[in-house]
Each structure stands twice: as structure tokens, then as C-alpha cells.
């Protein structure tokens, strides 16, 4: 995709973006914009430490693998809440997330972050698209991510693409933890993601949910922290597919299998409930 970049002088102001997002509740088209947004941001010690505390990430000279998403959140919000973006931000469903750590993320203080949307596809419930996030340091490309989002109710021509289901066996329990009732609010404070479905039962019910649910990227960050030494520091691709939401409060159980530089993981509830599946592989 040939992205038309718009370079910003400062990071977007989140409260204003939430106000814009709250006023748009309808689908206005079926074409994604060709414009991407870029901005230099600073990595600051205090917010990073707060993120580590909420996601149970040990201290390290390396940035946590999912932390660039936090730095990029304002740009992602501005992209998705723009009046010309065809889909309403509130109500989008996060289906999967893939990150690629290209080089070890240590000693970085300034990062240039770019975001754009592409890959619009028909879905049985509407349409999906990818939000692509690219992160460079002063040496060049450092990290990138693809987040696949679903907008229900979009009418598109054609057939629904088929996706092969993968089944992984031989995993064993690594650990389990409790997702507390307030974890959505705690993660919102460090990430900027104040989506009402994560904050409280009352706000989640406004969007048709019986209770608040955990942020998908908090689940991924907490999972990668638990996997710890199983994961290489760089030259790695980590994918997570979000299945059933984690209703708060809940206990979750992390299963994994590791084989050298590759491995698989699954986050379960009790019974047969599967919340998230994923894998890590070396970059080809």
C-alpha cells in the first residue's frame, strides 16, 4: 500500500478524540482512507513503570513487546475517529493482534510512530480491516504490528474469505492469575484506552454486555510477561487471536508449549472456555 503520510508535530490530545468518537455512531462508507499519521514520541520512565506494574512485567532494559501500542494509541485514536473514517470507533471488535520485534528494544528514548488502515475484507458479521503500526528509532525500523478489527453491519459484495483453524495439542499449564474487577480501569490509566466496555458493569451494559471485559492487549501483555524467558528479545513475530472475552472478575489459566525459538499459548477460563490463542515464531 502506498501510504500518504501526514506528519504531526505533537501527539494527539486524547480527551478531544474521545469527544469526537462519541458523536459518531453510524457507518458512513466502505472505503478506507489512504492517509497515515506519523509522529515522534518520547519514551518516559514513569509511564513505562506504571505499565509494567499493571501488566506484571519485570524490570528490564528492554521495552515490553506490547508497549509500543501504548505509545501509538493516540495516533490510532485520531485515525479511527477522523470524520472521514467510514466506521464508528465505539463498537469495533478487536479480533487479533500480531507484533513483530525486528531488533532488541533497549536504550530507546525517541521513536517515530506511524499508523494507517488497510486490508478491508468481507466478514460474516460485517467487515474487517487492519490497523498497521510501524515504529522506527534513529537507526530505522524497530517494531511493527497489525491489529484486525471487526465492524458489524457493513455491507460488502463478494464472498467471505475462509480462514483455516489451527489446533495445537500438547500444551501444559504454565501459570494462572486473577483478572480483578478494576483491571479495566487500571489498564486504561496506563494505556489511554477508556473504552466503556472495559471500565465497569454499568458502562459495559450500555453496549450490550452483561459486565465489563478485560482489554485484549492487557491480556496479551500479561501473557507475554508470564512467558518470560521462553520468548526471544528480537527477530520474533507474536500473534494473538481473541476468542471469548474475559468477563471481570475472572480467573484465567495460561497453557503453553515451547520448542526452541517457536511456541504456542492459550489462555483459558474454567470449563471449556477459551479466551485467547497465540503463537510466536522467528521472522522469516
Question: Quick one: which H or E segment has residue 217?
Answer: helix 216-227
Instruction: Find, among 243, 238, 223, 239, the residue nearest to 95 by Cα.
Output: 243
- The rounded percent of the chain whose pLDDT value lies above 90 is 81
Can you tell me the distance from the alpha carbon of 157 to that of 142, in angstroms, rounded to the nearest whole number? 37
Can you tell me the distance from the alpha carbon of 21 to that of 205, in angstroms, rounded to the nearest whole number? 18
pLDDT in tens, 132-152: 999 999 999 999 999 999 999
pTM exceeds 0.75, yes or no? yes
* Whole-number pLDDT of residue 164: 67
In this structure, what CATH number is given to the domain that contains residue 185? Answer: 3.10.129.10
Residue 279, pLDDT > 80, answer yes
| DSSP sequence for 272-283 | T-EEEEEEEEE-
Residues paired with 135 in a beta bridge: 113, 143
* Whole-number pLDDT of residue 136: 98
Residue 271, pLDDT > 90, answer no
* Whole-number pLDDT of residue 159: 82
Least confident of 79-93, 163-177, 220-234: 163-177
* Whole-number pLDDT of residue 1: 73
Domain that holds residue 156: 4-282
Can you tell me the distance from the alpha carbon of 187 to that of 199, in angstroms, rounded to the nearest whole number? 9
pLDDT in tens, 159-170: 888 776 666 778
pLDDT in tens, 4-23: 999 999 989 888 888 888 88
Q: What is the mean pLDDT of residues 15-35?
A: 88
What's the domain count of the chain? 1
Least confident of 33-37, 52-56, 247-251, 270-274: 270-274
Q: Where are the alpha helices (DSSP H) in 43-170?
A: 45-55, 67-81
Query: What per-residue string of b and e applies to 160-177 under the rule 16 or more CB within 10 Å gives b?
Result: eeeeeeeeeeebeebeee
Amino acid at each position: 500500500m502506498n501510504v500518504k503520510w501526514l506528519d504531526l508535530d505533537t501527539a494527539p490530545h486524547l480527551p478531544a478524540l474521545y469527544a469526537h468518537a462519541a458523536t459518531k455512531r453510524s457507518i458512513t462508507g466502505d472505503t478506507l482512507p489512504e492517509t497515515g499519521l506519523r509522529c515522534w514520541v518520547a519514551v518516559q520512565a514513569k509511564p513505562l513503570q506504571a505499565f509494567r506494574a499493571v501488566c506484571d512485567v519485570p524490570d528490564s532494559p528492554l521495552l515490553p513487546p506490547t508497549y509500543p501500542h501504548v505509545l501509538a494509541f493516540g495516533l490510532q485514536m485520531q485515525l479511527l475517529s477522523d470524520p472521514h473514517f467510514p466506521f464508528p470507533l465505539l463498537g469495533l471488535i478487536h479480533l487479533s493482534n500480531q507484533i513483530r520485534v525486528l531488533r532488541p528494544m533497549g536504550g530507546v528514548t525517541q521513536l517515530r510512530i506511524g499508523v494507517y488502515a488497510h486490508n478491508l475484507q468481507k466478514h460474516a458479521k460485517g467487515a474487517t480491516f487492519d490497523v498497521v503500526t510501524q515504529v522506527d528509532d534513529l537507526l530505522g525500523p524497530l517494531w511493527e504490528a497489525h491489529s484486525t478489527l471487526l465492524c458489524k453491519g457493513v455491507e460488502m459484495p463478494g464472498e467471505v474469505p475462509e480462514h483455516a483453524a489451527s489446533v495445537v495439542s500438547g500444551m501444559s499449564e504454565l501459570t494462572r492469575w486473577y483478572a480483578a474487577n478494576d483491571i479495566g480501569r487500571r489498564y486504561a490509566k496506563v494505556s489511554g484506552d477508556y473504552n466503556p466496555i472495559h471500565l465497569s458493569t454499568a458502562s459495559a451494559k450500555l453496549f450490550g454486555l452483561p459486565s465489563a471485559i478485560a482489554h485484549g492487549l492487557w491480556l496479551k501483555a500479561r501473557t507475554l510477561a508470564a512467558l518470560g524467558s521462553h520468548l526471544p528479545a528480537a527477530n520474533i513475530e507474536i500473534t494473538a487471536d481473541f476468542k471469548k472475552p474475559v468477563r471481570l472478575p475472572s480467573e484465567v489459566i495460561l497453557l503453553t508449549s515451547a520448542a526452541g525459538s517457536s511456541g504456542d499459548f492459550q489462555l483459558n477460563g474454567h470449563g471449556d472456555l477459551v479466551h485467547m490463542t497465540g503463537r510466536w515464531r522467528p521472522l522469516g
